[in-house]
Chains A and B, each alone.
Chain A
């Protein structure tokens, strides 16, 4: 059983980790959430019903709830879960890291529901119908939240589209 459980983890944890990381802004929090998420499957009260939901959808829903719970408990929301990457000149890497921080902050400043939809749609390439299941919304509401999030980001990040650097 342990092997099957770990195989399940291997197959699913990366997108879930990315989602948790972008939701909380913290890699450490994201790792805690991922562990909780998979352990949830073992517990007697686990609400997963394969007849109604795909496992992936269910796990994304658990990650979302865990992240919200942490947020309500007042856990920190860091500005970015990313780390400097190797490659490129120090200058270009610095610019890239700065831009990455700006984008991360812009996404983190979105209202919760818009941020969740944007992360699932853009970064995880999840279909709108599946996002609706994860968030327990109707597809129309998901669409409108995604549109609002993108419209807001276009305003927030306008200065960076033309390559200008904005003081923040």
Chain B
């Protein structure tokens, strides 16, 4: 049996429409849920009785500590890009080239570039490694928060403000790959946004090495050199300068470059 025959057979199994009462039933339950949520709950007297002396002091201290922590966390999280509407998503595969081994898919991501020019990873996974996927996702959530929490202690507000003014919206941030072979941590790379360019040249400053249409989107390949690394990025202006392909190269001891990681978009979904 071939795939088409199987698909045709599977299509034989259809499902009847839900009962017209389903909507009405949901509406009734909606009203009930809202009503049950309204009455305020009066705290039991026993709670007050237990909170005496030292316990009350300890609880107050704990509340203060938790409050400070939550406040710091909220401050950190509030600096992440607002959810807003996601105009498109791009599924990308990251290939890792290791010595004497064929390239392998090290990571699969779904991401987009927001109005601030930063690529935001919505989801990512490490094929055939549930552990790396899980740890990677946790680190994705924790590292930026941690970074923002410690920033006030390592950079003065004045320096931070100067940096923000300097970069502002003039930077495009891409995700060229992973910082380790298990892809536990992803890397971000900021490049200066192109000034005065139009069309396919609008994305970033640098040496233009080619023009190509990828998945229906015109891109300009621009190279940026920051030894020992060299990145070539195919950026699509109509996708907010999203890099649909990235070649990451590293220098060998003899000074020549060799490809280390590549990113390749495999699907673009508009208005997901």
Q: Are A82 and B30 in touch, CB under 8 angstroms?
A: no
Name A126-157 residues within 8 Å CB distance of B. Answer: 127, 129, 132-133, 137-141, 150, 153-154, 157
Q: Are B10 and A9 in touch, CB under 8 angstroms?
A: no
Q: Are A103 and B5 in touch, CB under 8 angstroms?
A: no
Q: Are B27 and A138 in touch, CB under 8 angstroms?
A: no
Would A138 and B108 be within 8 Å (CB), given that A54-B272, A127-B91, A129-B123 are in contact? Answer: yes
Assembly CA distance A158 to B1 (angstroms): 6
Q: Are A107 and B10 in touch, CB under 8 angstroms?
A: yes
Interface size class of B (residues with CB under 8 A): 35 or more
Q: Inside 8 A of A140's CB, which chain B residues have their CB?
A: 105, 108, 125, 127-128
Q: Are B23 and A6 in touch, CB under 8 angstroms?
A: yes
Among the listed B12, B29, B122, B272, which residue makes an inter-chain contact with A96, where contact means beta carbons less than 8 Å apart?
A: B12
Among the listed A6, A82, A99, which residue makes an inter-chain contact with B15, where contact means beta carbons less than 8 Å apart?
A: A82
**Does A34 count as interface, using CB distance less than 8 angstroms?**
yes
**Does B19 count as interface, using CB distance less than 8 angstroms?**
yes
Q: Are B18 and A103 in touch, CB under 8 angstroms?
A: no
Q: Are B91 and A35 in touch, CB under 8 angstroms?
A: no
Of all chain B residues, which has the CB nearest A133? B123
- Nearest chain A CB to B230 CB, angstrom units: 29
Q: Are B130 and A141 in touch, CB under 8 angstroms?
A: yes
**Does A30 count as interface, using CB distance less than 8 angstroms?**
yes
Q: Inside 8 A of A27's CB, which chain B residues have their CB?
A: 15-16, 18-19
Would A122 and B125 be within 8 Å (CB), given that A21-B15, A31-B22, A82-B14 are in contact? Answer: no
Number of A-B contacts (CB under 8 A): 132
Q: Are A138 and B22 in touch, CB under 8 angstroms?
A: no
Among the listed A35, A42, A51, A122, which residue makes an inter-chain contact with B80, where contact means beta carbons less than 8 Å apart?
A: A51
Q: Are A141 and B10 in touch, CB under 8 angstroms?
A: no
Q: Inside 8 A of A54's CB, which chain B residues have their CB?
A: 272
Would A30 and B9 be within 8 Å (CB), given that A38-B26, A39-B33 are in contact? Answer: no
**Does B248 count as interface, using CB distance less than 8 angstroms?**
no
Would A85 and B129 be within 8 Å (CB), given that A42-B33, A153-B6 are in contact? Answer: no
Q: Are B128 and A103 in touch, CB under 8 angstroms?
A: no
Q: Inside 8 A of B18's CB, which chain A residues have their CB?
A: 13-14, 17, 27, 30-31, 34
Starting from the known contacts A42-B30, A100-B14, A153-B10, 16 additional A-B residue pairs (CB-CB under 8 Å) come to: A2-B27, A2-B30, A27-B18, A35-B29, A43-B33, A80-B13, A82-B13, A100-B12, A103-B9, A107-B10, A127-B267, A133-B123, A138-B126, A138-B127, A139-B108, A140-B125
A to B CB contacts below 8 Å, 21 in the list? A5-B30, A6-B26, A9-B26, A10-B23, A14-B18, A27-B18, A31-B19, A31-B22, A35-B22, A42-B33, A43-B33, A52-B122, A82-B13, A129-B110, A132-B123, A137-B130, A139-B125, A140-B128, A141-B127, A154-B6, A161-B9
